[in-house]
Structure 1
């Protein structure tokens, strides 16, 4: 990687290895552009999910920390970071099959090794309809392509493995994570669940009251904070006093159906790309 004017290392962004509800695919380019233009020495994500923004960034500061409250997410990233060759061996003979999908759904992940657990999670996440995390159903591709094809997946896994070099991976409640990594030179990118979709990632992962808790904490931090979330009156009210920029994005809901949604980019700092009329 080369260095830019902020001393950040520059390289190519990589793609997430699996779909994820709220993965910010349609908004990622705009967010990445904003993040790259903000000077920071520490980049921290409290809700990394499949890394839809983290991985697509083309610049990296001195310190990078990712976090998720989901043990399945964190285990997958740790395995990709530390045990990539062994992980590929676990996936070698896997096929896309409804029967295999239903079999793995019934398996208790606590009975598996960390490698087996990561392989199970990745398989279910890649083959589930719409990148759903809970109440998953087997997704059928209209183009006939298999969702789990190791020939296509292996290069993606290798890219993520290399990108995770030197990255700190945490498994903390977002409040503890923000408190631990907040500093004057930090940029915290927060991608919490959408308002009204708090239970889409599992019971006890995030609650309606956590939006106010997040906003309250970000009001008192030393570093810079950037939040992306669905645009609702409730969210605008909770984050009153922050910079708020509305953005319309188009998401594909099915093979031939798309719909425009309102997203909100929120910040605790002023930025040219967040002004009204600006097109990040």
Structure 2
């Protein structure tokens, strides 16, 4: 499913290879540099599999917490309410009727239904509000959401220059709130969250700020953090997958791993036909962890998309 926000370095165009290289069996999934949450939310929900979304950007994780736990208050702050159509009400009703909405601020949320909905609609929604939620700043989340949506390429740094109707994203917020219902949202340094959730049956996905492109990201990521990320990953018990831009330094740094190279259209370039090369790195051999893969499929790719195995370690980290 689509995320409710765009984000610098979003992985929508790389999902096909990330999903293809994913192990067949695992018990937890940790999205360490979560960003827009696209990789987490596009995963099929697996019974009994723990999911963790983490990002070091406090404004971003606050927004995710509010989308997950306080959607009614967030929609009110964004100006979506009062509802203008029966379709909007039906979406709201279906969401709450799933029995997944809980809220520490139950009274406040119920009061909002009194203000923005008319009887009997208000009573119908109030009867379904049963949730508890951690404290979060709804106003700060709404302001950050607008900042991202009005900025260029979701970078939250410069005005996008195109009109944006915030109301178009009403449906996405409700859909993403439901998808995040059982996802743990963390706001921690990457090393801390990896060490906390690493297990033998875990998949740890990392999409760090790209090498020599760190200035494009809102949260600081100094050059030495690339080494620090590598050093903590190679000690992991679980599987890990890392996506990076194709750079000699990165390929040399991860010589103890399997490295796959691919390319995609460069959406940030104004030159027609411009492509951007990326690598996907694993600590395991996908041919052994993914039953549907073979050497031919690893080298071939699908349709117009191509990827190739450019490095195979002499001594794999994970057998």
Q: TM-score, normalised by structure 2?
A: 0.70
Matches within 5 A, 1:31-70: 31-35=18-22, 37-60=23-46, 62-70=49-57
* Higher normalized helix content (fraction of residues): 2
Secondary structure at 1:206 match in 2: coil
- 2:282 is matched with 267
Count residues in correspondence: 240
1:161: which partner in 2? 177
Alignment partner, residue 166 of structure 2: 149
The match for 1:23 among 10, 15, 19 is 10
Residue 251 of structure 1: how far off its partner (Å)? 2.9
1:231 to 1:25, Cα distance in 2 relative to 1, 3 A: same
CA contact (8 A) 1:28 1:53 kept: yes
Pick closer, same or farther for the CA change 1:237–1:227 going to 2, 3 Å. same
Q: What is the alpha-carbon distance in structure 2 between the residues aligned to residue 55 and residue 237 of structure 1?
A: 32
Question: Aligned partners of 1:212 and 1:274: how far apart in 2?
Answer: 31
RMSD over equivalenced CA pairs, Å: 2.1
Cα offset, 1:220, TM superposition: 1.0
Cα deviation, 1:20-71, whole Å, max 9, x if unaligned, reads 1101121123213333x53111000110011121112224352101111000
CA distance in 1, matches of 2:10, 2:273: 16
- Deviation, 1:259, is 2.1
Matching residue of 1:88: 75
Cα distance change, pair 92–120 in 1 and its aligned pair in 2 (3 A): same
- Kindly indicate which of the two structures has a greater share of residues assigned to strand: 1
1:103 aligned residue: none
TM-score (norm. length: structure 1)? 0.80
Gaps of 5+ in 1: 1-13, 95-112
1: distance between equivalents of 2:211 and 2:294?
21
Structure 2 stretches lacking a partner, 5+ long: 82-135, 288-292, 303-319
CA distance in 1: counterparts of 2:229 and 2:187, whole angstroms: 17
The alpha-carbon distance between structure 1 residues 183 and 239, as it changes in their structure 2 partners (threshold 3 A), is same
Could you tell which deviates more after superposition, 249-258 or 15-24? Answer: 249-258
Deviation >4 Å, runs of 4+: 254-258, 273-276
Partner residue of 2:188?
Answer: 172
Larger Rg: 2
Shift of 1:93: 6.0
Contact preservation (8 Å) 2:80, 2:170: no
Contact 1:44–1:186 (Cα < 8 Å) also in 2: yes
Separation (CA, whole Å) in 2 of partners of 1:77 and 1:54: 12
Higher mean displacement: 157-166 or 61-70: 61-70
Shift of 1:278: 3.9
Equivalent residue for 1:199?
Answer: 215
